[in-house]
Every structure is written in C-alpha cells, then in structure tokens.
Homo-oligomer: A and B are copies of this chain.
Amino acid sequence: MSEPAGPPALPPSMRDRVPFLLYRASQISHSLANEMLAEMALSARQVGILTLVTELEPMTQKALADTLRIDRTSMVALLDDLEAKGYVARQRHPRDRRAFLVQPTDSGRAAKAAAVRILDEQQRRFLAPLTPAERAQLSALLTRLSQRPAPEQ
C-alpha cells in the first residue's frame, strides 16, 4: 500500500512545462509509428522520403534532406536501403553531375500507399483521446511552432 504499482508521479514543476510535455508526446507518437511500420521494415523517416518523391517533382538528396530536416549523411543510408528494397532509383541530375535525382519505382509508390494507410491508423490511435475540434486546434498550434527556421545545417 505504501508502494503503489506505477512509478512516482512527476513533480508539479515538470507537469506544466510545455517542452517536456511536447517531448514526451512526441516520443509516444514516434515510437508507436515506428512499431506499426516495422512490419514493412520501414522507418517513419523513410516514409517521409517516399511521400516527397511520389508527391513532388524529382528531388536531389540535398533537397530531400533540407525539406525533411534530415542530415544529408543520414540520407545516404536511408536511400541505400530504399534503393535496395527497390522503392526508389537514383538518377544522375541532367544539369549537375554531382547530384542524383531520386525517383520512385512502381513498387515504391505501392509501398508508400501502404505505409500511409498504416500512418493514418497510427494518427487515429494516437489522437483518440481528443475530439475533432481539439485535433484541429492542436494541428494549428503545432503548425505555427514547427515553422521556425531550420538550424541552417
């Protein structure tokens, strides 16, 4: 009775600290997403890449990295894996021989569609505690907070 089941509660000074709550909520959401994507052997970052290359014009690795705020050295390994799975192809940029244009394959488009279905379900589960109006509020607030300048890497 003196030792209840769960871990000790957080002190009040932490419970109302927004950066901490944000970090914790993001951890929960992100790990849920990656767990649910594990059956496709993809990470959330890779789904982001697939989404960009299927929905936008062909992009270089650097443009992908800047848009998703992924380090460009990490992009190499992520694309190596996607290429090995047959989901994307690197093509030489016609005007810049240093760069590659990343383009999706047919099976890459199919994988992207399947992954988006999984992430739709993930979002549904994660946002279950909120009403539709609250979800819209949250989305609007986070949009403003996530629009700050990227740290110029």
CB atoms of A139 and B13 under 8 A apart? no
The answer, among B19, B126, B143, for a CB contact under 8 Å with A19, is B126
CB atoms of B67 and A18 under 8 A apart? no
Query: How many A residues have CB within 8 A of the partner chain?
Result: 59
> Provided the pairs A143-B15, A145-B25, A146-B28 are in contact, do residues A20 and B48 lie with their beta carbons within 8 angstroms?
yes
CB atoms of B30 and A23 under 8 A apart? yes
Residues from chain B with a CB closer than 8 A to the CB of A63 are: 7-8
Residues of A77-93 contacting chain B, CB below 8 A: none
How far does the alpha carbon of A3 sit from the alpha carbon of B146 in the complex, in Å? 23
Residues of A57-80 contacting chain B, CB below 8 A: 59, 63, 66-67, 69
